[in-house]
Amino acid sequence: MDKFRIQGGVPLEGEIAVGGAKNSALPALAACLLTSDPVTLRRIPPVRDIGTMQQLLQHAGADLEVADGSVTVRAARLDHPEAPYDLVKTMRASSLVLGPLVARTGRARVSMPGGCAIGARPINLHVAALEQLGAEIQHSHGYVEARAPHGLKGALVHFDRITVTGTEDVLMAAVLAEGETVIHNAAREPEVQDLALLLNKMGACVEGAGTSTIRVQGVAALHGTEHTIIADRIEAGTFLIAGAITRGDLVVSGFVPEHVYALTAKLRQAGVDITAAGEGALRVRAASRLRATDITTEEFPGFATDLQAQYMALITLAEGISFISETIFENRFMHTQELARMGATIRVEGRQAIVAGVTELTGAQVIASDLRASASLVLAGLVAHGETLVDRVYHIDRGYEKIEEKLARAGARIERII
């Protein structure tokens, strides 16, 4: 099992370019199931979850061509509209194919999603919304089975709470439904906006993406197109924190700075110097010890839950006491025990972590429990005194493309060992 070996204490310098967004590429790939025409997607990150989704599309009957960061999907026939457990047990995004498959073929059978053990990820919101569109849903042996033999019908959908994958799933189903669908309390994430842009390029009629109300006028069929995936704002945020935690002078480029505004606002509050470094790039510097700051995770445009663990690694070294409140997932503090092994002082009380800043972290053997937790341990290792070994880095491979190589090019002493 692969590990990262890190010798800490080296400030990061130079430039790191951000890759395509995994959380945008996954629904975009699922959207390719909505047409029999070829769809070409560019800036697809070659991470583990993407490979799993590509296998899922091939299992359903689609043909794929993968080359130089682009993927062309031809879903002319979908003889197996299902997502079997053996394929998707490691990926929570499997539910994204439920809407497209039932909209396109009138039936779908999708295994309940897996992925990181960071809390419940129920798809009851997806299911209830699809039922409002006319799908007949059954739960059997760990699978969700949906049928709409006479097609889907537009409807008014109101989510009881904001759900990104639920919004994306229903959005993809609605584009082929008869009539108008209005989605209230929709997720506003950039990834949802990117999906809507792709769908409109394919001939859909989607308005309001990026707001809490999305309107969809159903069409009879979609056609092929080409589309470039947006940059990964979580990867960008991770590297911005990496520059700050190592007290470096690092430029992070190739993304949309507005997508990480909640993070950069908190970094500045903590004493990090962040300036523009050209279009789509930010320069991060942190010469002195940081100040304690509190964060509360929220849906976009609030502070992203996917950056909470990385920010906690940073704030373990801040002067004073910080309060981190996690409102999205109830079990997203598993990294705290591993950070404590490195010398951090953290107390968890329910959905709040209380972090008392220390002057130094020390290298240790630690185990990654999920995707973003593994990133936080890598960041801690970059600044810790001595050697850190991060085990189970297959978690980080699910969402980061060769993170060790990108960090090494900026001066980090990090290597992958088997």
Q: Where are the domains of the chain?
A: 3-18+231-417, 22-228
> In which residue ranges of the chain is pLDDT below 50?
115-121
CATH architecture of 3-18+231-417: Alpha-beta prism (3.65)
**How many other CB atoms sit within 10 Å of the CB of residue 139?**
11
pLDDT at 113: 62
Decide: helix, strand or coil at residue 173: helix
The DSSP bridge partners found for residue 104 are: none
Question: Which residue's entry shows tokens 């999305």?
Answer: 214
C-alpha to C-alpha distances, 280 to 233, 252, 275, 340, 401, nearest whole angstrom: 11, 8, 11, 35, 19
Distance CA 27, CA 199 (A): 11
Long-range contacts (CB closer than 8 Å, 24 or more residues apart) made by 349-353: 351/325, 351/326, 351/327, 352/323, 352/324, 352/325, 352/326, 353/312, 353/323, 353/324, 353/326
What positions carry a catalytic annotation? Answer: 116
Inter-residue contact 397 to 390 (CB < 8 Å) = no
Distance CA 27, CA 372 (A): 20
Residue among 345, 347, 415, 348 at smallest CA distance from 387: 415
pLDDT at 218: 98
- Which tokens belong to 359? 């002057």
Positive or negative, the CA dihedral 245, 258, 256, 217 is positive
Distance CA 172, CA 261 (A): 28
Q: Residue 277: CA atoms inside 13 Å, Cβ hemisphere, count?
A: 20
Decide: helix, strand or coil at residue 163: coil
pLDDT at 122: 60
Distance CA 329, CA 351 (A): 9
Helices (H), 39-107: 48-60, 85-88, 98-105
pLDDT at 96: 92
Whether pTM exceeds 0.75: yes
Same-fold call for 3-18+231-417 versus 22-228: yes
**How many other CB atoms sit within 10 Å of the CB of residue 160?**
9
Distance CA 202, CA 199 (A): 5
**How many other CB atoms sit within 10 Å of the CB of residue 316?**
28
Topology classification of domain 22-228 = UDP-n-acetylglucosamine1-carboxyvinyl-transferase; Chain (3.65.10)
pLDDT at 118: 36
